[in-house]
Amino acid sequence: MQKLKNKVAVITGGSSGIGLATAKRFAAEGAYIFITGRRQSQLDAAVKEIGSNVTAVQGDISNLDDINRLYEVVAKEKGKLDIVVANAGIIERTLLENATPEHFDSIFSVNVKAPYFTVQKALPILNDGGSIVLVASTAHRVGVPEHSTYSASKAALRSLSRTFAAELKGRKIRVNTLSPGPVDTPIFDGQGSKEEIEATKNAYAQWIPMGRLGKPEELASAALFLASDESSFSTGIDLVSDGGQTQL
């Protein structure tokens, strides 16, 4: 039985990594998917990979006009919404002493402001009994050098999920956080040379009790749990999927 049959879902950052894996899984479980991303070429490739029951809406999720346009498309094509997965995020490593206001604003614009208004602007068409998943990170649970702004932005999502859950409980809308540990996705790209990226991945793998990075498909399964009725008695929780990184 398909766990998301006849559901409509929005997944931000759905053209790669965890977002793409989640979109593919949701579609396989019977949902119609709307994915967002900044690069049209990546969205086109993602639509082809997902195969069917998907619409791509190009835009910058930190731009409120683009969020409005996203939901205009959803309303026009489907007239309703059941699931929001606020997945889009960025990371830029820097030491506290080197951080600039531009760096801070960039991280918080994409990682906090965008999910906040992605949820707010979904509410008029989001069905009562719907599900919202904010994709955070285990970075909000530990102190990692060079990740102060990123970690703080993900801690903000954890806080927002609790408040949103309390505010929306009257509509039976569940709001939960998914906190991945290190996952082998394109988010590592741009964080150094090929050799530096590989060294970073190996370092993370040694830090994880299970001895490896996570797979996007594993996080998609966790997102499916939170989005579906499988988690019908869960709201305001933080589902950690990190190979034991922050648990053991």
Gyration radius (Cα) of the chain, Å: 17
Interatomic CA distance for residues 71 and 88, integer angstroms: 16
Q: What are 11's strand-pairing partners?
A: 35, 85
* Pair 14, 37: CB distance under 8 Å: yes
pLDDT bin (cut points 50, 70, 90) of residue 218 is: very high
How far apart, in whole angstroms, are the C-alpha atoms of residue 187 and residue 168?
31
Show the CA angle centred on residue 208, arms to residues 205 and 209, nearest 5°.
Answer: 125
Q: Is residue 51 within 8 Å of 31, Cβ to Cβ?
A: no
Q: Is 138 a residue whose pLDDT tops 90?
A: yes
Is residue 87 predicted with pLDDT exceeding 70?
Answer: yes
- Domain 8-188+216-239 adopts which CATH fold? Rossmann fold (3.40.50)
Q: What is the structure's pLDDT at 232?
A: 98
CA trace torsion 100, 193, 183, 140 (10° rounding): -20
User: Is 34's pLDDT higher than 80?
Assistant: yes
Mean of pLDDT over the chain: 95
Decide if pLDDT at 201 tops 90. no
Span 7-29, pLDDT tens digits: 999 999 999 999 999 999 999 99
Catalytic positions, please?
A: 150
Which amino acid type is present at position 65?
D
Q: What is the pLDDT of residue 178?
A: 98
Identify the CA nearest to 26 among candidates 131, 103, 150, 111: 131
Q: Rounded to an integer, what distance in angstroms lies between the CA atom of residue 206 and that of residue 95? A: 23
Q: Say which residue the tokens 């797979």 belong to.
A: 215
Please compute the mean of the pLDDT values over residues 160-187 and round it to a whole number: 95
Beta-bridge partner residues of 54:
33
At residue 191 the predicted structure's pLDDT band, cuts being 50, 70 and 90, is: low
- Asked whether 73 and 51 are in contact (CB, 8 A), the reply is no
Q: What percent of the chain has pLDDT over 70?
A: 98
Could you give the 3-state DSSP secondary structure of residue 33? strand
Residue 119 identity (one-letter amino acid): V
How much is the pLDDT for 207?
87
pLDDT band at 190; cut points 50, 70, 90: low
The DSSP line for 158-218 is: HHHHHHHHHHHGGGT-EEEEEEE-SB-SGGGTTSS-HHHHHHHHHHHHHHSTTSS-B-HHH
pLDDT band at residue 195 using 50, 70 and 90 as cut-offs: confident
User: Comparing 96-105, 146-155, 188-197, which segment has the lowest mean pLDDT?
Assistant: 188-197
pLDDT in tens, 221-247: 999 999 999 999 999 999 999 999 999
Residue 46 has pLDDT above 80, yes or no: yes
**244: alpha, beta or left? (left if phi > 0; alpha if psi -120 to 50):** left
